[in-house]
Amino acid sequence: MSAVMVGSAPQHHFAARALRHPSFAIGAALSLLLLVAAVLSLVWSPYPPADIDIPSKLQGPSAAHWFGTDSLGRDIASQLLVGAQASILVGVFAVLIGFSIGAALGLLASARGGWVEEGVMRLSDFTFAFPALLSAIMLGAIYGPGLLTGIVAIGIFNVPVFARVTRGAANAIWAREYVLAARAAGKNRWQITWHHVVPNIASALIVQATNQFATAIIAEAALSYLGLGTQPPMPSWGRMLNEAQTQMFQAPMLAVYPGMAIVLAVLGLNLMGDGLRDLLDPKLARKR
Amino acid sequence: MSVFLLKRFATFAATLLVASVLVFAVLDLLPGNVAQVILGDTATPESLAALEKKLGLDRPAMVRYTDWIGGLLQGRTAQSHSYDTPTAALIAERLQVTLPLAVMAMVLTVLIGISAGIFAAARQNKAGDVGVMGLSQLGIAVPSFWFAILLILLFAVKLQWVSAGGFPGWTEDDGGGLWEGLVALLLPAVALAVVQAAVLARWTRSSVLETLREDYVRTARAKGLSRRAVLWQHVLRNAMIPVLTILGLQFAFLISGTVVVEQVFVLPGIGRLVFQAIANRDLVVVRDVVLLLVAMVVIVNFVVDVLYAVIDPRLKTSDA
């Protein structure tokens, strides 16, 4: 009993601090809203998002259609709800690709040093010259546009971001005295990486993952707006904006709602990331 | 030339070389048969063979690559199959829109971002600082293409001050002129700049605040210099070094943003060219445009490295 209490005390302390942190609290609430929208839309939406109803086209907000309807009579609220799925799907997989490859490369660079480190860093510099959009243009030109093209293009761009952050954070850990002690005790560099480096850089990587998730949502929306990302009939906020642009003079609000959804989702993740950075960094936490 | 600059130039040249190999591999080798990609699955063997010959695909990959790069170095480019024009001519025509747009956006980004960052740093934790940082947090979350749509909604749909898009051209013969051209690019440049400036303002603020904590700043203050004088004479030059790095990295995002915002405002720039090329399966155009955009990013980052050495002379001597 006492062991449980001792073990959970720091967690309670962290949760209490987190809830009192304005950035984190607002960010977490907005991120939760995004997640709830995506999960809820898997089982329920006011209307099937792709259902066309021409007689009801371009209606304003009402009890039947909370945010009105588009030029084909499709319910905007339903499309916004289901559109959250594409954002989360692309965000999760693009961050996973970047995280798994980038963090592995960063750890390798830090553990080996020398030409391996130099090579990984030059590769990172090089990949920065290819923003997600350029990768998506190349992939889209060959394999055609689609959700996968978007995920791969954004994921590739995330690789050097994670590689740099991981290598920077890991190098700082390798300089610590307890790592020297572990080396003196006979642990090899991979054991040190796994037992000492990874646990100590995890918080920096979590913060970076949150920020890259936000970046991925904007990138997905841009690619879908251009027709390179999510394809019909799956709704996406970016494509909703593209379609709304043709109706700007008749129904200007159609171009406002999806943008607001993107901003709230990205703002939520960024605020949560900023909050996490403060909460997980003891130096910053003490200053607060 | 210092060792620092020589090393940077070597990195710059190597990056361009590797980028060209990658772009060639992805757009020329990876698809298997480019002629098949262009003509689709229903193409007859005869039409495939004819197009392969026309595009020079019957030659080894190495020869095609050296031909491509050798041609580019001599100012010679391949023929676009959908426009039947050398890609250089197509790109040069579209750059007349894209380059001025990117430059205008960059200038606005620097003006807004750096001044907002300095303003916030000079008023740390006061209302002005909190306001600027709140706005920048919001700015980072706004996609530039959505901000562009909002600008159209306000200035073209609601106020009807400008047209909702299009480009009149730079000369009167085209039906436009210098002023008309600049006006047409103003809203797209603002859309791009506001979002990038939000990022730059945060970096500028934190860099200025960090420099303000340096010992030499305290010394200057102790000698009786005013806070304002210290800020302008000592802090800004040093604080701008990390800001330059961010500017270099931001250029990559600005180029992507330009491509997207051109679509929003229906501007006949590089972005529209590449999307039309994708629709037409014109891989030669896609290849040359992508390499150009990558080259622009790499060149700007090389220039940033050179500027480092100008701003911080220690860099020139540290490697020597």
Beta-carbon separation of B141 and A270 below 8 A: yes
Q: What is the pLDDT of residue B303?
A: 87
CB contact under 8 A, A142 and B297: no
* B89 has pLDDT over 90: yes
Looking at residue B46, its amino acid is E
**What are the tokens at B122?**
């000079």
- With cut-offs at 50, 70 and 90, classify the pLDDT of residue A257: very high
Reduced to 3 states (helix: H, G, I; strand: E, B; else coil), residue B267 is coil
What number of residues does chain B have? Answer: 320
Which of helix, strand or coil describes residue B79?
Answer: strand
More confident residue, A140 or B119: B119
Do A138 and B290 lie within an 8 Å CB cutoff? yes
pLDDT in tens, B273-290: 998 888 888 888 999 999
pLDDT in tens, B115-155: 999 999 988 889 999 999 999 999 999 999 999 999 999 99
CB contact under 8 A, B143 and A226: no
Question: 């090089």: which residue's tokens?
Answer: A126
The average confidence (pLDDT) of chain B is 87
Q: How far, in Å, are A130, A184, A236, B142, B145 from residue A242 at the CA level?
A: 24, 61, 10, 16, 10
Band of residue A198 on the pLDDT scale cut at 50, 70, 90: very high
Chain B residue with minimum CA distance to A219: B143
Residue A288 CB contacts under 8 Å (≥ 6 apart), including other chains = A21, A278
Of A131, A262, A266, the CB nearest to B252: A131
Q: Rounded to an integer, what distance in angstroms lies between the CA atom of residue B156 and that of residue A255?
A: 14
Among chain A residues, CA nearest to B301: A129
Out of B152, B252, B264, the one facing A128 most closely (by C-beta) is B252
The DSSP code for B226 is -
Contact B27 A138 (CB under 8 A): yes
| pLDDT single digits (tens) B27-78 | 877 666 777 777 777 778 888 888 878 777 788 889 989 999 999 988 888 8
Q: Give yes or no for residue A269 having a pLDDT over 90.
A: yes
CA triple B107-B111-B114, angle to 5 deg: 125
Residues A20-37: tens digit of each pLDDT: 888 899 999 999 999 999
- The rounded percent of chain A whose pLDDT value lies above 90 is 59
pLDDT given at position B200: 93
Q: How confident is the model at residue B6 (pLDDT cuts 50, 70, 90)?
A: confident
Give the nearest partner residue to B142 out of A139, A142, A263, using CB atoms.
A263
Which residues of chain A does B18 touch, with a Cβ-Cβ cutoff of 8 Å?
126
The pLDDT of residue B113 = 95
Tokens 């020329």 -> residue: B28
Query: What pLDDT is attached to residue B205?
Result: 93
Q: How confident is the model at residue A2 (pLDDT cuts 50, 70, 90)?
A: very low
At residue B124, the pLDDT reads 86
Q: Which two tokens stand for residue B83?
A: 């426009």
The complex's ipTM works out to 0.88
C-alpha neighbours within 13 Å on the C-beta side of residue A181: 5
pLDDT at A196: 93
Contact between chains at B256 and A255 (C-beta distance less than 8 A): no
Residue B316: predicted pLDDT: 58
More confident residue, A14 or B187: B187
| Chain-centroid distance, C-alpha B177 | 25
Question: Tens digits of per-residue pLDDT, A155-189?
Answer: 998 998 999 899 999 999 998 999 999 999 999 99
Q: Which of A122, A252, A258 sits opposite B153 (nearest CB)?
A: A252
Hey, are the CB atoms on A225 and B145 less than 8 Å from each other?
yes
| pLDDT given for residue B150 in this prediction | 96
pLDDT (tens digit per residue) in B220-249: 888 888 888 888 888 888 888 888 888 887
Chain B's closest residue to A132, CA to CA, is: B256
Q: Which residue has the higher pLDDT, B35 or A44?
A: A44
Contact A236, B255 (CB under 8 A): no
| Least CB–CB distance from B141: residue in A132, A133, A267 | A267
* Contact indicator for B222, B233 with CB cutoff of 8 Å: no
Look at residue A9 in the predicted model and tell me its pLDDT: 65
- Average pLDDT over every residue of A59-86: 92
Mean pLDDT value across residues A256-265: 96
Q: What is the pLDDT of residues A98-129, one digit of tens each?
A: 999 999 999 999 999 889 988 888 888 777 77
Res B9 pLDDT > 90: no
3-state secondary structure chain A: CHHHHHHHHHHHHHHHHHHHCHHHHHHHHHHHHHHHHHHHHHHCCCCCCCCCCHHHCCCCCCCCCCCCECCCCCEHHHHHHHHHHHHHHHHHHHHHHHHHHHHHHHHHHHHHCHHHHHHHHHHHHHHHCCCHHHHHHHHHHHHCCCHHHHHHHHHHHHHHHHHHHHHHHHHHHHCCHHHHHHHHCCCCHHHHHHHHHHHHHHHHHHHHHHHHHHHHHHHHHHHHHHCCCCCCCCCCHHHHHHHHHCCCCCCHHHHCHHHHHHHHHHHHHHHHHHHHHHHHCHHHHHHC
Structural tokens at position B249:
């990295």
* pLDDT at residue A192, as a whole number: 94
d(CA A26, CA A273): 11
Question: Are the beta carbons of A142 and B31 separated by less than 8 Å?
Answer: yes
Contact B261, B272 (CB under 8 A): no
Q: Which tops the pLDDT comparison, B197 or B8?
A: B197
